[in-house]
Amino acid sequence: MSHLPSTPPTQAQTSPTLEARLQALEAQVLHLQAALTQAQTLFQDSPGTAFLLDKQGRILDVNMRGAALLGSSREALLGRSLTPSLGAPVAALLARVFEGRGRQTGEAQVLTPGGERLEVALEAVLHVREGEPPCGHLTLTDVTAFKLAHRALWETQQAQETQLQHQALKLRQLQEEFEQVVLASGRELHHVLTRAQSFLALAREHPQTPRYLLHTGEAVGQTRDLLDSLKVYMQLRFLRARTRRVDLGRVLREVLKDAQDQTAGRDVWVTSAPLPTVSGDSQVLQIILHEYLHNALKFTRTRPQARLRVLVEEAETEYRIGVEDNGVGFNVRYKDRAFELFGRLHASGEYEGTGLGLAVVRRLCERFGGRAWGEGKVDQGATFWFAWPKVPAER
């Protein structure tokens, strides 16, 4: 059996294959060249200022805006260090980038060829190129206008704060002056009214005293009581409170002890739910409970049996304390009037008072972040409440 020798491929058989490969390689090269040209064009025409830098900060490439910023041509800048132009911030930024710490940002100042100092924001990333050492891609954004606006805004804010401080100081001085004038005027009026009351008291002893002088004496007495109430109100407005733990049960016992003159000779029953210990000022809380209990005793005076109950409700952020009575009550439509300055729900001829007590209560509650309000019906009693925060914030 004979073997025929194999026939080698002819040039006509190999040429198409080589030619196809060469064409494919040429297409790839053209594609890469086009991509490189496009990338270079994008880099050069970028609206931002951009540099390619080596690890030492030398310029490997720069776009047109970067060259214009430094006042030189691209060719003249290649190989030069960027550090003298931007200073230490660029060196520190590049060091972090080449350490592989990802995108880095910072700020620097640039002195332009025209002598203008610009504030610029820096952003740098590591750019890895195949077959070549890595380089840092640094972009600069001019933030001079933003910095100037920010500085102007800050200066304006500082000027406004200074002005507010001056105005606050002036307001405090005016308040102190007003308080002194009111208190001094009150003292003088009190002395005058006291003398007038003394003269009227002597006149009442005379059998021929006109009846209108007796009414005048009552009016003078009411005016003096009003001045005393105003003095107390002014003092409470500027009370220096001290926040501490206060047992409301103990405060209630002290208030009831002070109210013995109002309960003497009367059938009065006072009951209370267990009262909590709260954070607050003991004097403030005593004033609030005193006003509520004083009102309850006053408006149950016409009842053969006075029944007072101290109520407690606990919410998530506050305690609600109420004083309920079986007195004459009031029209609920006018409930807010009771807490106004000189607000009255009943005629002054029937029940004494200046109309300042509940206004003081509301002011003190609001000072510590609390509230005060009333509920009632005519001839069916009333309940006056105050809400006291578990974490009071004095205002």
Report helix angle 211-237 to 357-367, nearest 10. 0
Residues 264 and 378 occupy one common structural domain:
yes
185 within a domain of the structure (yes/no): yes
Residue 339: which CATH number? 3.30.565.10
Residues 109 and 138 occupy one common structural domain:
yes
Q: State which of 127, 142, 157 marks the end of a domain.
A: 142
Q: Which pLDDT does position 34 carry in this prediction?
A: 60
Is the Cβ–Cβ distance between 39 and 31 less than 8 Å?
Answer: no
Residues 109 and 169 occupy one common structural domain:
no
pLDDT digit string (tens) for 121-170?
Answer: 999 999 887 778 898 999 998 999 998 999 999 999 999 999 999 999 98
Residues 313 and 276 occupy one common structural domain:
yes
With a cut of 50, say whether residue 1 has pLDDT above it: no
How far is the C-alpha of 231 from the C-alpha of 223, rounded, in Å?
Answer: 12
Q: Token pair of 111, please? A: 């002195």
With a cut of 80, say whether residue 341 has pLDDT above it: no
Residues 274 and 213 occupy one common structural domain:
no
Is the Cβ–Cβ distance between 321 and 310 less than 8 Å?
Answer: yes
Residues 107 and 229 occupy one common structural domain:
no
Q: Which pLDDT does position 2 carry in this prediction?
A: 47
Residues 120 and 208 occupy one common structural domain:
no
Q: State which of 238, 255, 275 marks the end of a domain.
A: 238
Residues 272 and 379 occupy one common structural domain:
yes
Q: Which range (21-25, 65-69, 240-244, 296-300) has the least confidence?
A: 21-25
The count of residues in the chain is: 395
Residues 166 and 313 occupy one common structural domain:
no
Domain count, the chain: 3
Helix, strand, coil percent values for the chain (each to nearest 5): 50, 20, 30
Q: Token pair of 192, please? A: 């005058």
How far is the C-alpha of 123 from the C-alpha of 134, rounded, in Å?
Answer: 17
Residues 269 and 352 occupy one common structural domain:
yes
Residues 276 and 375 occupy one common structural domain:
yes
Q: Which domain, by its residues, includes 183?
A: 145-238
- Is the four-CA dihedral 225, 266, 311, 392 of positive or negative sign? positive
Mean pLDDT of 355-370: 88
Higher pLDDT, 119 or 179: 119
Please give the model's pTM, rounded to 2 decimal places. Answer: 0.52
pLDDT digit string (tens) for 195-248?
Answer: 777 767 776 776 666 766 666 766 777 777 777 767 777 766 667 778 899 999
Q: How many CB atoms lie within 10 A of CB 225?
A: 14
How far is the C-alpha of 35 from the C-alpha of 43, rounded, in Å?
Answer: 12
How far is the C-alpha of 106 from the C-alpha of 139, rounded, in Å?
Answer: 11
Spell out a b/e string for 307-346, using b for 16 or more CB atoms within 10 Å of the CB, else e.
bbbbeeeeeeebbbbbbbbbbbbbeeeebebbbeeeeebe
Percent of the chain with pLDDT over 70: 82
